[in-house]
Amino acid sequence: MNRIVKFYHEMGSPPSFYRITQHWLMPMLLLALGLTAYGLIEGLFFAPKDYQQGDSYRIIFVHVPAAWMSMFIYAIIGICGIITFVWRMKVAEAVMMASVPIGALFTAVTLLTGMLWGKPMWGTYWDWDARMTSQLILLFLYIGVAGMYAAYEEDPRKAARLAALVAIIGLVNLPIIRYSVYWWTSIHQTSSITLTGGSEGIHSWDMLRPLLVMALATKFYYIYSMLTRAHTYLLKTEAKKQWVAQAVSKKSGAKP
């Protein structure tokens, strides 16, 4: 238990966070690349056709993991926003702001692939369906958090707190996205994977396996990209601290 508490405190300290997570970058990147290659190759070329949608369903190997990540990342942003707003922890600020562009990218991919999927399945690229509309609102929330921070960027601490407030308010949209297809009439199908094995779930392991692999791949990519951006954020906002000078010196000294 003491080790867990010690690790928590270390991860809350910018120099310790930078030092510890610096070693995670390459493993995360390699896992992300390897799993993405496996998931896409198996999903796009070797998974069996769907008995209703044929080969058109294969877009789910990108669409569904991207949709999961768009919500997962915003949940992390919201949690970090609460920590930032209440306790003003710099590492939480870094993780929050580093996550915003990544989450926005996954949300945009979700909307784009959903539109491409919608045309052959529903006969239209876009319908103001509850799921689609709430997902679009999620993209606007990501833009709103980034925009609020940019508006006060000359004062990073104030900018982070105001951005955190926007992020916290936006958390209400997550359950709306998740349950919109159950609460309102929707052309969007329900969950692709169900714990109860309902009729909308994926029953074939040959289809499910690449989908789960892609879900893992996107998480490893997120960790890699978020840590890279968080490191840059901390080096910038802590530029006057001695640990930054030491870190930059050590990094420069490693180069030939």
70-to-86, 134, 160 alpha-carbon distances in Å: 24, 12, 21
Residue 120: which domain range? 60-191
Average pLDDT over residues 117-126: 86
> Does 179 fall in a domain?
yes
> Does 2 fall in a domain?
no
What is the residue-averaged pLDDT of the chain?
90
Cα angle for residues 46, 28, 217 (degrees, 5° grid)? 30
State yes or no: pLDDT of 187 exceeds 80.
no
State yes or no: pLDDT of 222 exceeds 50.
yes
State yes or no: pLDDT of 200 exceeds 60.
no
Q: d(Cα 47, Cα 55) in Å, to the nearest integer?
A: 9
Percentage of the chain surpassing pLDDT 70? 92
In which residue are the tokens 């995670």 written?
24
> Does 243 fall in a domain?
no
Q: Which of 12-21, 112-121, 216-225 has the lowest mean pLDDT?
A: 112-121
> Does 82 fall in a domain?
yes
> Does 164 fall in a domain?
yes
Q: What is the DSSP letter of 50?
A: B
Residue 199: band (very low, low, confident or very high) from pLDDT cuts 50, 70, 90? very low
Q: Domain count of the chain?
A: 1
> Does 241 fall in a domain?
no
- Residue 186, SS3? coil
Which residues, 6+ apart, have CB-to-CB distance to 215 below 8 Å? 64, 65, 68
> Does 123 fall in a domain?
yes
> Does 212 fall in a domain?
no
| Paired tokens of 157 | 């601490």
What pLDDT digit, counting tens, does each position of 48-72 carry?
988 778 788 899 999 999 999 999 9
